[in-house]
Amino acid sequence: MNKFIVYTAIPLGIVSYLFCIPVLAAVSEYHIQLKDHLFFPSIITIPANQKVKLIIDNQDNTPEEFDSFSLNREKVIFANQKVTVFIGPLKPGEYTFFGEYNPNTARGTVVVEHQIREAPDAY
């Protein structure tokens, strides 16, 4: 019985910690427009080691999928809808993203840098 408790309580405790509701700290927002299968802006700069919120506004009449291998993010954005994707905390560098349905045109880069004090809207 004790072994059973140990085998279940500890793992459950670890899993519960992982799934704890995140602390509601202020998260910087960055806006990206998707219009005519192009991301505007195509390059956004965010601070390193911080979680940020990307708000992607699909202004086309067709769906698109925000996809990024390096960011490990994949989100379908239906026509004329907005979605929110959280990224980070990220180390300094460049992380590319693209629209899976229009990969030749819908492309962008997230540039992660140190020492960005403010997080202005991206346009």
Partner 1 sequence: MLINTVILFLRDALPILVLVVYLFAHLSPSKSWLLICHVTGAILVLLYINQIQTVSQWFDGIGIELSLWFFQFLVYLLALVLACGLTFFQFSNRHFMFWVAGLMVSLTIVANGSNFILYFDGYLNQSNAVQSMLLGTFLGLGICLSLAILLYFAVRWLKQRVGPRATLSLILIYVTGQLVNALPLLVQVDVIDASATAWSSQNLVSNEFEFGHLFNALFGYQASPSIAQVIVYVLAISIPLSISYWLKPNLSTHEGNK
Interface with partner 1 by CB under 8 A: which residues?
Answer: 3, 7-8, 11, 14-15, 18-20, 22, 27, 51, 53, 62-65, 69, 72-76, 78, 81, 83-89, 100-101, 103
Closer to partner 1 by CB, 42 or 62: give it.
Answer: 62
The two most distant CA atoms of the chain are separated, in Å, by 63
Report the C-alpha gap between 45 and 30 in whole angstroms.
Answer: 9
User: Residue 98 CB, nearest distance to partner 1 (Å)?
Assistant: 9
User: Residue 97 CB, nearest distance to partner 1 (Å)?
Assistant: 12
| Cβ 120 vs Cβ 41: under 8 Å | no
User: Residue 29 CB, nearest distance to partner 1 (Å)?
Assistant: 12
